[in-house]
Structure 1
Amino acid sequence: MIEVKNVYKSFDGVEVLKNVSARFEPGKVNLIIGRSGSGKTVLLKSIVGLHEVDKGEIIYDGRSFTNMSEKDRKQIRKEIGMLFQGSALFDSKTVEENVRFPLDVFSDLSVAEKKERTNFCLKRVNLENANNLYPSELSGGMQKRVAIARAISLNPKYLFCDEPNSGLDPKTAIVIDELIYEITKEYNMTTIINTHDMNSVMGIGEKIIFISEGQKVWEGSNNEILISDNKQLNDFIYASKFLKQVREGFLKKGI
């Protein structure tokens, strides 16, 4: 579990996060949603330590990440997998080398063990025969799957995904969502996804927090989001006429 307690963050005197508190649960897909500029990306980066919070605390399974030494933070970082928005693969490295990279940096495994783990991760994302390809030879969806394989190579307890469906067509985005969901369950990870993709919200959003103007204004599940009476949330999600119709259907049925 990851806990965020009363977090504040400012840049150049402008408050971006204002007293945000949340709990992100293991074995669940936890989503942070909100408009562009709402503070959701700053929150995600604050949780992983890319931004230092001004006030408040970030806690990983009872361990205060905010107050610990850099040495202790390195230990937690070994337990973190990160899926970046643009996949962030190394263009000059093969698929196998990209997936093996965290193992080379953070593990004491033998060459044979690294090879075995790399192949396992590639098989898990259905890319068994892609070892010797380069990122430029892959589709956007395949690049995301390689990035997921790399993110789970160290068998992390925590998985962070920044806009994982950015730039993908709807069908491929669903494949990536389902893969993240399956891996979360399989490894009982605490998965946190930063997104504004309502397909992801409705498809895999088990725990959702909605950020507006730097504040958490709603939290719940994808079953609850369509019947929320929170005006700020509804203005965000019902920009889509289709979702408005879905909401009206739920309300007519008394759900």
Structure 2
Amino acid sequence: MIRLENVNKSFGDLKVLNDISITFESGKTNLIIGQSGSGKTVLLKSIIGLHDVDNGAIFYNDRNFTELNHKGKKEIRKEMGMVFQGGALFDSLNVEENVRFPLDMFSTMSEKEKSKRVAFCLDRVNIQNANHLYPAEISGGMQKRVAIARAIALNPKYLFCDEPNSGLDPVTAIVIDNLIQEITKEFDMTTIINTHDMNSVMEIGEKILFISKGYKAWEGNKDQIFNTENQALNDFVFASDLFKNIKKST
């Protein structure tokens, strides 16, 4: 679980986050949505500690992340996994080496244990016979699956995904969504996904935070979103004719 209490963040005179309070639950896919410039990326970066908040608190279970020193924050970061936009695999490393990288950097496993863990993670994301291929030699969807395997290599308690479906076709995007949801439940992780993909919202939105102009404008789930009277949310989610028709049919 990750809990935010009255989080605020400004850059100079520009107030980006305004008094954000919410709880992201473990074992569920928690989505942050909002228009470009709404503050959702700053919020995600604040949660993982890339930005220091001006005031308010961010709790990882019962640990106040905002009050910890560098050493304390580093310990919590060891419990995090990150899937970056675009995958962000190392071009000079093959698939196996990419997944092995965090184990080499942060674990005390033996070489045999690392190999076993890499094999498990690749199998979990349904990657076979690709260990020695390089990122340029595999598809975008496979790159995202390798990125997920790398993110779970250290068995994290917290998984963060920044636009995980960026650049993927709709069918592959659904595969990635379902994979993230499956491993979230399987390992009881607290997963937070920053996305603008409305298909993801409708597919795996178990907890949704809608940010508008730096404020928490709405929270709920994928079922409640069809009945909301929040005009800003309706304008954002049902902007396309496809989703307008879905809303009318519910």
TM range (shorter): over 0.9
Query: How many percent identity over aligned positions?
Result: 67
Q: Determine if contact 1:119/1:128 at 8 Å carries over to the other structure.
A: no
DSSP 3-state at the match of 1:19: strand
Rounded to whole Å, the distance in 2 between the matches of 1:98 and 1:231 is 44
After TM superposition, give the deviation of residue 226 of structure 1 in Å: 1.0
| Equivalent residue, structure 2, for 1:190 | 190
Q: Return 5+ residue gaps in structure 1 as ranges.
A: 251-255
Rounded to whole Å, the distance in 2 between the matches of 1:148 and 1:249 is 35
CA-to-partner distance for each residue in 1:97-137, whole Å, 9 max, x for gaps?
10011111110000110000001000111112111010110
Report which stretch shifted further, 122-131 or 27-36.
122-131
Rounded to whole Å, the distance in 2 between the matches of 1:246 and 1:166 is 23
Answer yes or no: is 1:232 the counterpart of 2:217: no
The one-letter code matched in structure 2 to 1:15 is K
| Equivalent residue, structure 2, for 1:214 | 214
The CA RMSD measured in Å over matched residues stands at 0.6
Query: Where do residues 15-164 of structure 1 align in structure 2 (5 Å cutoff)?
Result: 15-164=15-164
After TM superposition, give the deviation of residue 22 of structure 1 in Å: 0.8
After TM superposition, give the deviation of residue 12 of structure 1 in Å: 2.4
Rounded to whole Å, the distance in 2 between the matches of 1:113 and 1:164 is 28
After TM superposition, give the deviation of residue 244 of structure 1 in Å: 1.1
After TM superposition, give the deviation of residue 48 of structure 1 in Å: 0.3
**Alignment TM-score, normalising by the size of structure 2:** 0.99
The one-letter code matched in structure 2 to 1:156 is P
The one-letter code matched in structure 1 to 2:224 is E
CA-to-partner distance for each residue in 1:20-40, whole Å, 9 max, x for gaps?
111000000000000011000
| Equivalent residue, structure 2, for 1:253 | none
Q: Determine if contact 1:102/1:154 at 8 Å carries over to the other structure.
A: yes
Q: Return 5+ residue gaps in structure 2 as ranges.
A: none
Q: Find runs of 4+ consecutive structure 1 residues off by over 4 angstroms.
A: none
